[in-house]
Amino acid sequence: MNSELDKQITYLKGVGPKRAEMYKKIGVFTVYDLLCHYPRDYIDLTDTVPISDSALNETVAVKGTVVRKLAPARIRKGMTVYKAVFTDGTSDLTVVIYNSEYLFSQLALDGEFYLVGRITGNLIRREMSSPLVFRADTPFKVQPVYRLTEGLSQTVLRNNMKNALDSFGKYIYEPMPAHIRSDAGLCAMEYAVTNIHFPKDIHCFEQAKKRLVFDELLILQLAMAMLRSKGRSLTGYVLKEKNIDEFYKSLPFELTNCQMQAVSDCMEDMQKPFPMNRLVQGDVGSGKTAVAAAVAYFAYKNGCQSALMAPTEVLAHQHYETLKGFLEPLGVKVALLTGSLSTKEKSLVKQGLENGEYHVAVGTHALVQQNTRFKNLALVITDEQHRFGVRQRAFLAQKGSNPHKLVMSATPIPRTLAMMIYGDLDISVLNELPKGRQPIETYAVTGKLRQRAFAFVSKQLDEGRQGYVVCPVIEESEMALQDVKSYANKLSENGFDKYRIGLLHGKLPNEEKDRIMRDFKEHKIDLLVSTTVVEVGVDVPNATIILVENADRFGLSQLHQLRGRVGRGQYKSYCVLITDNVNETTKKRLKILSSTSDGFKISEEDLKLRGPGDFFGDRQHGLPKLKIADVSHDLDILRKVQKTAELIIESDPMLEKGENKGLKELVNRLFEYANADDL
């Protein structure tokens, strides 16, 4: 924005080097950072309760007068207790303060104050320990509550923030062109920053919040748009139109309409003079791999190589087998490149990729990290994209001379969100399952019915089918969750000894995982007990039942993914969700799952119920963390922002106009942050 705001936080009155160190822990280095440290909550001082009505253990705000101050009592070395009697006319309250003479001195005798804190003691003698204290004449009836770190208190932060606003508020810069601001009905930036911290009233707060949410989302959208146009300015391999009918004919099934559409979207993209940047978003089981194979075949017909990256060895292996099955009969040579190959094998594969002997490489990110060279890599496909960050995406894109990129994601995301997370990508949606799939019957039950569930599993296994059991943890823990390791005992107590049981979890060596997965695919294992390592992408059409333990521990979309491990073939399939946690939210969530098999609908409901954690948790998407916007609640603003961003970009793709200078600076800040954060 400008250099004044970029001054170190130590420029502020009351912030020395020691405090600056504390601020660093919450990511605050400069005055600008501090001003962007928005409150996590607010205390509404207009919402006071009469002391006589306050309930024990409740956190409340009361307003009254200090009527008596008692002499400090030293209860032991280094611990002094200060007490004052406070009344609001309805009842008295004893204020208890440990060690802070400063806080005690603030409570002037006969002075009028607001106190905010938890009511303790008993209903005859109420107490409040270490309350927040505000003078009754404070003009700020809504007080901010900040995220803190050790050594920083709300009071200190509030005071520093007031100072920052007083001395630096005048430097707050308006990044938004006036016409956009007035179109969107947004308040001015300085007003927004001031009122997000110290709102005069709820209306001011709402105005401020709307403005800051709008800005945050807008900058993100603009950043995505710029990434996209940067990608567009480079030339990739311009492929020629080719007929791939022989591929379609050799498939054991007919592609669905949306698979066909996705393939032709990709082929069209790849004939353009700039690299494809496309996301194929498909519900579990919608057949994304076949799309990938078709597109790789198209590249092959153009004399070019493709690479497919999977997030795990297990999946890389599976894709390798699938692609080989589809493509080798047509003369395409497919190589597998994973971390568990021997050095010699690896170098042979790499040689083959460099001299063009292999046409398609399938692998884990070993493919990215090690210096693999290709003869003419025209297409990079990444599967289950939500596990790869923006940075990895960018890294891969540097291989070869700007190859086309195809991203496949099995996490259905509502469209608005997809635009936000994948704003730099074009999207094809697979919203239709292959013919002949039967809906998966889903039941949510408590542990009391486990025996019956087991009986049901046995029945499936006896019929020659296979099944999965998913546990939330690997080993026994204090949380009384079902775990993979002791589950075998439970099964053998229930007559499962006659079946071949496999145990799979993330702590096993890769080769071991691979072997177990392969055994399961080849039906050398009947029942696979695992953690969520099977969550993504594993395809065993003979599996017809999945039993999920402690189902309440998983996100809805995740459960939907897990359920998608069955129902992938001709047999009727079942999903049993076991949980003893029967609170209303859990019930509601699991009910959604039993009532629909539409992944998009499920993710939308999940978003409403749980907030965006599922998508934005763990930052898997590779986006910077949002400071103030909450995409599950701010959808209306998000839509407006998307329109606004389109308008801006349309007339000024690289934000070069003078009026967009402020926005551009903020976008650059975001990129800097993204780099620094090693996304």
Q: Which residues bind Mg ion (CB under 5 A)?
A: 537
284 or 590, CB closer to Mg ion? 284
224 or 559, CB closer to Mg ion? 559
SS3 536: coil
Minimum distance between the CB of residue 434 and ligand ADP, rounded to whole angstroms?
3
Q: Which of 109, 182, 253, 588 binds ligand ADP (CB under 6 A)?
A: 253
Does 557 participate in binding ligand ADP (rule CB under 6 A)? Answer: no
Minimum distance between the CB of residue 330 and Mg ion, rounded to whole angstroms?
21
Does 568 participate in binding ligand ADP (rule CB under 6 A)? Answer: yes
Does 286 participate in binding ligand ADP (rule CB under 6 A)? Answer: yes
- Count the residues of the shown chain that bind ligand ADP, applying the rule CB under 6 A: 19
Beta strands in 384-465 (DSSP E): 404-409, 426-430, 441-445
198 or 468, CB closer to ligand ADP? 468
Copy the structure tokens of residue 176: 């938004």
Return the one option of Mg ion, ligand ADP, none that residue 400 interacts with (CB less than 5 to 8 A, by type): none
Q: Which of 62, 84, 212, 255 binds ligand ADP (CB under 6 A)?
A: 255
- Phi/psi for 340 (5° steps) reads -90, 0
Does 325 participate in binding ligand ADP (rule CB under 6 A)? Answer: no
* CA distances in angstroms from 54 to 66, 84, 96, 133, 134, listed in the order given: 18, 18, 17, 17, 19
∠ CA 538-542-546, nearest 5°, is 65
- Rounded-to-integer distance, Cα 193 and Cα 191, Å: 6
Copy the structure tokens of residue 93: 């309250």
Q: Which of 275, 282, 311, 400 binds ligand ADP (CB under 6 A)?
A: 282
Q: What is the dihedral sign for C-alpha 160, 163, 165, 170?
A: negative
Does 434 participate in binding ligand ADP (rule CB under 6 A)? Answer: yes
- Per the DSSP assignment, residues forming a β-bridge with 112 are 65
* CA distances in angstroms from 435 to 317, 430, 511, listed in the order given: 26, 13, 35
- Rounded-to-integer distance, Cα 126 and Cα 119, Å: 6
Does 502 participate in binding ligand ADP (rule CB under 6 A)? Answer: no
Minimum distance between the CB of residue 326 and ligand ADP, rounded to whole angstroms?
9
- Rounded-to-integer distance, Cα 94 and Cα 81, Å: 12
Instruction: For residue 411, give the nearest of 385, 378, 445 by alpha carbon.
Output: 385
Return the one option of Mg ion, ligand ADP, none that residue 282 interacts with (CB less than 5 to 8 A, by type): ligand ADP
- State which H helix or E strand residue 299 sits in: helix 288-301
Q: Which residue is nearest to ligand ADP (CB)?
A: 287
- Helical packing angle, 202-232 and 661-676, nearest 10°: 80
**Chain residues 391-410 in contact with ligand ADP, contact rule CB under 6 A:** 410
Does 438 participate in binding ligand ADP (rule CB under 6 A)? Answer: no
Return the one option of ligand ADP, Mg ion, none that residue 39 interacts with (CB less than 5 to 8 A, by type): none
Minimum distance between the CB of residue 259 and ligand ADP, rounded to whole angstroms?
6
Residue 453: is it exposed, middle or buried by C-beta count within 10 angstroms (0-12/13-18/19+)?
Answer: buried
DSSP-derived secondary structure letter, 410: -
Q: Which stretch binds ligand ADP (CB under 6 A): 107-115, 411-419, 534-542, 621-629?
A: 534-542
- Rounded-to-integer distance, Cα 424 and Cα 226, Å: 8
Does 285 participate in binding ligand ADP (rule CB under 6 A)? Answer: yes
DSSP-derived secondary structure letter, 149: -
Minimum distance between the CB of residue 512 and Mg ion, rounded to whole angstroms?
22
Does 535 participate in binding ligand ADP (rule CB under 6 A)? Answer: no
Contact code string over 363-392 relative to ligand ADP, x by CB under 6 A: ------------------------------
Q: What is the dihedral sign for C-alpha 471, 474, 475, 477?
A: negative
Minimum distance between the CB of residue 619 and ligand ADP, rounded to whole angstroms?
24
Minimum distance between the CB of residue 219 and ligand ADP, rounded to whole angstroms?
33
Q: Which residues bind ligand ADP (CB under 6 A)?
A: 253-256, 259, 282, 284-290, 410, 434, 537, 539, 541, 568
